[in-house]
Amino acid sequence: MLRLILAIITGMVVMWLVGLITMKDAGPAWYSLLGAALSIPGALLGRQIYYARHRRQSNPLTIV
């Protein structure tokens, strides 16, 4: 599961940085940099919420 989360984080960071490079005149640079930086804790927080929800329901984890 951690490998999947790391792949999602990497994809999100790459997408934000590609957007920064290709659309550099569309907006301020801090917007894309902040998006790339916040995608890391956002994905990790989503993982924690997923685990907490399944622990509370006491169901075995099913990874889709």
| Domain boundaries, given as residue ranges, for the chain | 2-57
Q: Pick from 50, 1, 27: which is nearest to 9 by CA?
A: 1
Each residue's pLDDT tens digit in the chain (64 positions)? 778 888 888 888 899 899 989 998 888 988 888 988 988 888 888 888 888 887 777 656 666 6
CA–CA distances in Å: residue 56 to residues 3, 10, 47, 48: 23, 29, 14, 12
